[in-house]
Structure 1
Amino acid sequence: MLKAKELTIYARLLIQLGVNLQPGQNLAIRASTDAAPLVRKLVEVAYESGAPHVLVDWSDDEINRIRLRMAPEETLAFVPEGKVEDFIRMIEGGAAVISILTPKPELLKDVETSRIATVTKAMGKAMKKYQELAQGGEISWTIGVVPTAEWANVVFPELGEEAALAKLWESIKLATRLDHGDPLAYWQAYANRLEERTAWLNDQQFTRLQYWGPGTELTVELPKNHRWLGGGLKNSQGVYFLPNIPTEEVFTAPVRNGVNGRVRNSKPLVYNGQVIDGFTLTFENGQVVQAEAETGNASLQALLQMDAGAAHLGEVALVPHDSVLSKLGVVFRNTLFDENASCHFALGAAYPFCIEDGVTMSKEERAGNGLNESVIHVDFMVGTAELDIDAVTVEGRVVPLFRNGNWV
C-alpha cells in the first residue's frame, strides 16, 4: 500500500492534472470497494479543490461475480435505471469523472462467457450516453488504479502474496512517476513532448500505415483530415486534462473499412475478468473475418460479436518499445499499463475528435468520414522489438516511422 503522503500525491495527480477539477465543478468517482483508501483521499482532495459535490459510484467485485454465477439468466440484462440516471445527470451537468480500477485478471475465469457478454452488452447500452460524452470530448475524465492481491499474484507468481503486492505497488509508483519529486510537473512536460509528436504527424496527413512484425502484416488506412492526439486533451469548455496516467501513446482513428491483413497480439488481453492471449485477427475491408485465441477463445468471439462495430478497429496507437513502461519489463495484464508499453489497436468505437470537426458531426457524417461506432472500445497490444511501421503520403511516398519497435 502507498504511504499516506504517497496516497495524497496520487490523489492530487488524478484531481489536479488527470481531470483538472475546476472550482465549483462536481466530481463523479467510479470504483470498487477494494479502492476505498484512495477513493476517500480523492474525495478529500476534491472538496479541498472546490468541488460542491462528489458522487461515489461503488461496486463490489465479489458481489458482481456472485451475480454472474448465480442469478437467473433472464435477469442478467437488468440495469437499475435510477443509479445510471443519477450518474448520467451529474456528468451532463458538467461533472468530471475518475474511474479507479482494481484489476483481478482471473476473477471470472469460472463464469460462462455468454453470461458475462449479456451483462457487458446491457451495461454498455445503459452507459452509452457517458461513452458519447467522454469520447466526444465533452467532459474531463481519467483513470487510476489500486493493486489487488489477486492481480499481484498473477503478475509476480514467483513471489509470495505480500511480496508480490509490494512489488506491484512499487511498479505502479514507477509507472505513474509517483517517485518523482513533482509528478504533476513531470507529466505536464511529458505530455507536451507527446503533443509535439502529434503536431508533426498531423502536418503529414499520411494516407495509410503498413505494419510488419511477428505474425503481423497489416495495412491501415487513415481518414482524410484525421487528427493524431497524445498526452492531454481539452474538453468542450477548453479545460486541459490527462485521461491516462501513465500515458506514452499517440493515437488516431483508422478508416472503418480500410484495414486489411493480419495482426498478432504481443501481450495478454484481460477483458471482463477473463484472459485472452495468443490470438491472431485477420481483417478484410476493415472487418475481422477470422479470429482464434490459444487462451480465452470463447471470450474473444463474444467480444467480436458484441455489436456490428465490435469486429472493426476504432483506434490505432503508436508507442515506442523503449518507453518507460516497456523498460520496466513488467507484463501488467492490465490495459492501462500494458498499452503504454506497446503499440496497440482498439476494437470498437472511434473517438470523434480523431477527425477534424468530428465532435460536431452527426453519427451519419462520422460514419461517412470512416469512423467506427460500437458500445465497446477494447485495446489490444501488438508492439514488439521486431515491429516495423511505414507511413504512406498522399503522393505515394513511403516514410519509415518505426524500426525494431521504435521511432525512426
Structure 2
Amino acid sequence: MKQLEQMLEKYADLAVRIGVNIQQGQTLVVNAPLPAAEFVRKIVAKAYEAGAKNVHVEFQDENITRIKYEKAPDEAFTEYPMWRAKGMEEMAENGAAFLSIYSPNPELLKGINPQRIAMWNKTAGTALKKYRSYMMSDQARWSLISVPTAEWAAKVFPDVEEAEAIEKLWDAIFKIVRIDQEDPIAAWHAHNETLKQKVTYLNDKQYVQLMYEAQGTSLTVNLPENHVWQGGGSVDQGGIRFNPNMPTEEVYTMPHKDGVNGTVRSTKPLNYGGNVINNFTLTFKDGVVVDFTAETGYETLEQLLNMDEGSRRLGEVALVPHRSPISNSGLTFYNTLFDENASNHLALGEAYPVNLQNGTAMTPEELSERGANKSLVHEDFMIGSADMNIYGVTKDGKREPIFKNGNWAF
C-alpha cells in the first residue's frame, strides 16, 4: 500500500509538472470521473505546491449519463448548458491550463439508440467549438491522462476479480507512463527528445504523400505543402512546454483533406461514445469515406461518419512503432489514449492548425484552402500492425521507406 501511495504521488506530480506544466499564479481546471476523486485530491495538492493560483475541479458520473440516455426526452440531447461552455472559454482566454482524466467505461452506452448519442455529440461539439479551438491551436496548455475504474479494468482484465483487475491496470499504467522509473520527469524529458528527432527528420523531408501497405490496407495520403510534424511535448503560444497526451509514442501531422484514396482496415477496437466499434474498414475517394464496413458497431460508426461534412475526411495521420511500451504489453485497453499510442493511427474530423506552418495565425478559410479539414469531431482509430509498411514520396517522385514491418525504417 505504501508503494502504491508513492507511485500515485509521482503520477500526480508528473501530470502537473510535465503534463500541463502549471506555472506560478495560473489556474488549473481538472475534469475527472467520480471514481478518480482520491487521485484528483493529489493532483490538486501538487498543483498548489507548484504555484497554482486556483484549481477548479469538475466531476462526471457515468451512471447519471446512462440514466439520462435511458430516461430523458429527446429534447435533452439538443441543449447544452451554455454557461458551462462560456465558462470554459473564459478560463482558456484568461490563461488556465486543463487536465482531463479519461477513463471511460467502454460499454457505458451499449444498447442505447446511436441516434441519441450522435445528437448529443453534435450538440456538445457545437457548443464547445470555441473552447476546443484553444486546445487544438495550443493557445492553452492541456493534458490527458487516465486512472483505472472498475468498469474499465474489468474490460481489460475480464478473467480476474475487480480488485485484482484494478491493481493490474494500475501496474500497466505506471509502466507505460514511466512512473516505475526512478525519475519519471527525467525519463519524460528523454522520451520527448527521442520523438523530437523523428519529428525533425520528417519535417526536413517534407514528403508530398504517404503510402500505407498492410493486410486489408492499401492507402495513399497526400500531405499539404508546408505541413508540420509534431510529437512528444508541445509548446504553447507563450513558449511554455507541455505534454498533451500521457502516454504518447506518436509523431503526427495533417493530411490534405482532399487527398486520401484507398482502403484502410482497423487493427484495434474503437471506443466511441460509450460503444465499441471493431473490425471495420473505410474506403476513401478524393478524401471522402465513400464506403465502410464494421463487424461490431456498424450503426455507431455510421453516426460518427454522418456527424457533419468533415467527419468523413481525415484530420490527422500519426506514426507509432509496433515495438512500443503499450504494444509490447500485449493488452487492448479499449481507451483511445492508450490504444492509439500502441499503433499507427488516423483521425476522422478536425485537423490541428499547429500541423501547418503558421496555421494558428490563419483564418478557417485559409486553413481550408491549404487542405486542413474542419469538423465537430476528432476521432482517432488504430490501423497499425507488425506487417505494415509505410513509404514517403518525395517531391521528385522518389519512394522512401518510413516504416518497415511495423517499425521505423530510419
Matches within 5 A, 1:174-213: 174-213=175-214
Q: Corresponding residue for 2:62?
A: 61
The 1-side partners of 2:87 and 2:226 are apart by: 37
Residue type at the aligned position of 1:316: V
Summarize deviations over 1:78-100 as a string: whole Å, max 9, x none. Answer: 11122222222111100000001
Summarize deviations over 1:281-332 as a string: whole Å, max 9, x none. Answer: 0000000000121100000000001111101000000001001111111111
Residue type at the aligned position of 1:153: A
Alpha carbons 1:317, 1:343 under 8 Å: kept = yes
- 3-state secondary structure, aligned to 2:311: coil
Alpha carbons 1:332, 1:338 under 8 Å: kept = yes
Alpha carbons 2:262, 2:283 under 8 Å: kept = yes
Q: Corresponding residue for 2:342?
A: 341
Q: Corresponding residue for 1:7?
A: 8
* The 10-residue stretch of structure 1 (56-65 or 232-241) with the greater mean CA deviation from structure 2: 56-65
Q: Corresponding residue for 1:263?
A: 264
The 1-side partners of 2:372 and 2:262 are apart by: 19
Q: Corresponding residue for 2:238?
A: 237
Deviation at 1:30, TM superposition (A): 1.0
Residue type at the aligned position of 2:202: L
* The 10-residue stretch of structure 1 (304-313 or 41-50) with the greater mean CA deviation from structure 2: 41-50
Alpha carbons 1:28, 1:91 under 8 Å: kept = no
> Is residue 172 of structure 2 the alignment partner of residue 149 of structure 1?
no
Q: Corresponding residue for 1:163?
A: 164
The 2-side partners of 1:318 and 1:75 are apart by: 39
Residue type at the aligned position of 2:54: H
The 1-side partners of 2:76 and 2:152 are apart by: 29
The 2-side partners of 1:166 and 1:46 are apart by: 26
Q: Corresponding residue for 1:94?
A: 95
Q: Corresponding residue for 1:303?
A: 304
Alpha carbons 2:222, 2:256 under 8 Å: kept = yes
Q: Corresponding residue for 2:330?
A: 329
Q: Corresponding residue for 2:375?
A: 374
Residue type at the aligned position of 1:199: T
Matches within 5 A, 1:3-152: 3-152=4-153
- 3-state secondary structure, aligned to 2:290: strand
The 1-side partners of 2:406 and 2:82 are apart by: 46
The 2-side partners of 1:238 and 1:381 are apart by: 31
The 2-side partners of 1:210 and 1:84 are apart by: 40
Alpha carbons 2:287, 2:313 under 8 Å: kept = yes
Q: Corresponding residue for 2:294?
A: 293
The 1-side partners of 2:299 and 2:291 are apart by: 13
- 3-state secondary structure, aligned to 2:65: helix
Residue type at the aligned position of 1:329: G
- 3-state secondary structure, aligned to 1:263: strand
Residue type at the aligned position of 2:47: A
The 2-side partners of 1:138 and 1:271 are apart by: 26
The 2-side partners of 1:39 and 1:149 are apart by: 17
The 1-side partners of 2:168 and 2:43 are apart by: 23
- 3-state secondary structure, aligned to 1:290: strand
Deviation at 1:361, TM superposition (A): 0.5
The 1-side partners of 2:21 and 2:354 are apart by: 19
The 2-side partners of 1:25 and 1:304 are apart by: 38
Unaligned runs of 5+ in 1: none
Deviation at 1:334, TM superposition (A): 0.7
Root-mean-square deviation (CA, aligned residues, Å) is 1.0
The 2-side partners of 1:251 and 1:234 are apart by: 15
- 3-state secondary structure, aligned to 1:309: helix
The 1-side partners of 2:354 and 2:81 are apart by: 31
Alpha carbons 1:134, 1:140 under 8 Å: kept = yes
The 2-side partners of 1:156 and 1:53 are apart by: 37
- 3-state secondary structure, aligned to 2:225: coil
Alpha carbons 2:224, 2:254 under 8 Å: kept = yes
- 3-state secondary structure, aligned to 2:199: helix
Residue type at the aligned position of 1:385: A
Alpha carbons 2:145, 2:247 under 8 Å: kept = no
Give TM-score, length-normalised by structure 2.
0.98
Runs (4+) off by over 4 Å: none
- 3-state secondary structure, aligned to 1:142: strand
Deviation at 1:67, TM superposition (A): 0.5
Deviation at 1:161, TM superposition (A): 2.0
Alpha carbons 1:103, 1:147 under 8 Å: kept = no
Give TM-score, length-normalised by structure 1.
0.98
Alpha carbons 1:88, 1:129 under 8 Å: kept = yes
Summarize deviations over 1:245-271 as a string: whole Å, max 9, x none. Answer: 111100000000000000000000000
The 2-side partners of 1:381 and 1:29 are apart by: 27
Summarize deviations over 1:340-387 as a string: whole Å, max 9, x none. Answer: 110000000000010100000010100000000111110000000010
The size of the alignment, in residue pairs, is 408
Deviation at 1:27, TM superposition (A): 0.6
